[in-house]
Every structure is written in structure tokens, then in C-alpha cells.
Amino acid sequence: MTKKEKQFPDLSWQRYLLPPIHPEGVKIFAVIVVVSILLGLFCGWLWLIFGPLCLFSYYFFRNPERIVPQGDNLIISPADGIVCKIEEVDTPKAFKMVDEKLTRISIFMSVFNVHVNRAPVKGKVEALNYHPGKFVSVADKDSEENERQEILLRMENGTQLAFTQIAGLVARRIYCPLKEGDELNAGQVFGMIRFGSRLDVYLPKGVEPEVLVGQTMVAGETVLAHLK
């Protein structure tokens, strides 16, 4: 056991009140702060509006530390939020997977959730498929019309796992800098979605979900299922 592993986890107030910001959000947060300061110099009462806006911007782009469960047979939640659906659906059409139905777990992220997304398993990016689209509610409807980014990972044992970032009602951009061939560790940050959105995970054939509709998910920590 290394010296770092022997140390206690950070339980200080900074961990909860001042978590790091995702790099994609730093520039947006900086612009909001600068604009707020400039407007406040001309009209002080505007701070009543832009002060809370700065705080919310920091809060929205936060990227808190997560302790990833260890185990090669674990499928971990890629998003914070609430499980809004668990259902049998067809495999994503864009991927060259076996034409069969798989269990899809849908996780809805409100504007108050952490919107940083994490890899559900360790694997290599085998395929990516981006769909531009509309911005309609994804909480309780299918998402064929929404902007979405489909991702297919292949694990070391050959198992394929597909998952999808879906833009929501007020979302305006999916951030996913992945490229085919990239390798991800389970729980590793791979992207984010701005504002309300959804993330779907397609469990491999024969794998049963270990979560329930309405259950709260923590990205990088909550176990969705165990691979056989």
C-alpha cells in the first residue's frame, strides 16, 4: 500500500463547497465573471442578478472527486441523476452490434446535478456516432429527435458496451472530445452536457440491472450492474 493510499480522504469544507471545475466550464465561468464585474461597475444593482449567476455557473460546471469502485466486472453509472426508465429496446442502429434487444437504463440529469460524464467501464472507443437534433424534454420521452452522441466501448474481454449522451430541453451543446481508439478507465471523465439532459446505458445481453426506477445515481460510484 502506497503512502497516498494510507491517507484519509479529504473531508474538509473545500471538497464540498469549492470543488474543481471541468475545463470546458472554466472559460464560460470566466466570461460570466468578467461581464458581471464590468456591468457592476456601471450599475451596482446588477450584481443582484449577476452575483447569483456567477455562483450558479461555478456550481453547474463543478467536477467533484469520485471514488470509483474497483472490479473488472462492474458497470458504473456514467452520470449523476435519477433513473427515469429501465426498458428493453433495440440496439443502437449506428453500431454494428448483434441485432437484438438490450436493457437500457436511462438517467435523467436536472440542471442541479453534476453534468460531468464518466466512463461506465474500462475499454477502448470502438465507434462514435453524433446526431444533431432538436431540444425537447428527455425526462419521460424517447430521444430519437434530440441531439445525441452515441459511444461504443469494447472491453478487454471483447464485451461491447454502448451508451448515449442526449441533449435535453434547454441543453445547447454536448461536449465529447473522444476519438475512435481512445482508451478509457472506468470512472474516467470523458465529457459533459450543458443543462438538463439524459444519459442512456445499454447493458450487454444477459446482464440484469441492479438499480431501480427513481433511484439516485452518482457518476463514477453507483454500480448499475455486474457483468457475468
- 3-state class (DSSP) for residue 221: coil
Q: How many CB atoms lie within 10 A of CB 200?
A: 22
Catalytic, 197? Answer: yes
* DSSP letter assigned to residue 11: -
Instruction: Please list, in sequence order, all residues whose beta carbon lies within 8 angstroms of the beta carbon of residue 76, skipping any fewer than 6 positions away.
Output: 68, 69, 118, 120, 121, 186, 187, 219, 220, 221, 222, 223, 224
Is residue 173 within 8 Å of 154, Cβ to Cβ?
no
Q: Residues 57, 77, 106, 197: which is the catalytic one? A: 197
Residues with catalytic function: 197
